[in-house]
Amino acid sequence: MVRLSILLLCCLAAMTLVYTQPVNVLGAPIPAAVPDEPAKQAMTFWEFLQAGGTIGYIIMLLSLVSVALMIEYVLSIRRSILMPPGFADEVLKMLTQGQANAALQKCQNDPSALAQILYAGMTQYEFGWESIEKSAEEATAEQASRLYRKVEYLNVIGNIAPMIGLLGTVVGMVMAFQQMADSGGYGGRIADFAEGIYLALITTIQGLLVAIPCLAAYSLFANRIATLIAETTYVAEQVLQPIKRNLLRKRDKSV
């Protein structure tokens, strides 16, 4: 939580610097001004966000949260975090030398996914290889589920951001039509009505700008988790091979 809070503050500071830069909406060229009307200045990015009103600020907050989450996932969902370098070799060496208790203690004190899978398997030693294998598979499923639940926040933001933007658009269009009705229908200025419509559509754009990268990042992280969990499972099976050979040897002697 502390790291996530720091990332949120950093994202807020970085985006504040960007907001002051002038930019046309979607990069569209500004049409030439009518001779009788004053020329309009380009809308800055901050003005673009302000045009979304309260709902626009909510979407902006979601964008900050999503950026912080992406950075946190890049830092935490890595091969070196799930499978610390050299850890598997050390545990395998201990098991090969018959130091099962030392290997069990080492796995218990390590928070990595590989260590927790190995620990869950080795605690079932007295019940045979089938129990070891089943316990390791359950621990693997638990670790994978934990990581998938972690990145699910990006999927949630990616799905609700367009809905919030659409809500802002609908509310804005209702207000624009109400303003047109109060001004006497077509007796009011069409330009004012058109301005209300395009301002209402801004929240939809904002929602999509947040949703598209969030859903893309969610897919990338989900694929990365699947790949890393598969690698972790393979490494865990290799580390537990000395236990399997030892149990099979004992079973053959007892027959």
Question: pTM for the complete prediction?
Answer: 0.76
Do 119 and 140 meet the contact criterion of CB atoms below 8 Å apart?
no
Residue 36 has pLDDT above 50, yes or no: no
The tens digit of pLDDT for each residue in 40-90 reads 555 676 776 677 788 888 999 999 999 999 999 999 999 999 999 999 999
Six-digit token pair at 182? Answer: 């109060």
Six-digit token pair at 209? Answer: 């700008």
Residue 192 has pLDDT above 70, yes or no: no
Closest to 228 in 3D by CA, of 135, 119, 144, 154: 144
Show me where the domains of the chain are located: 2-20+44-77+87-254
More confident residue, 67 or 179: 67
The tens digit of pLDDT for each residue in 5-16 reads 554 445 444 444
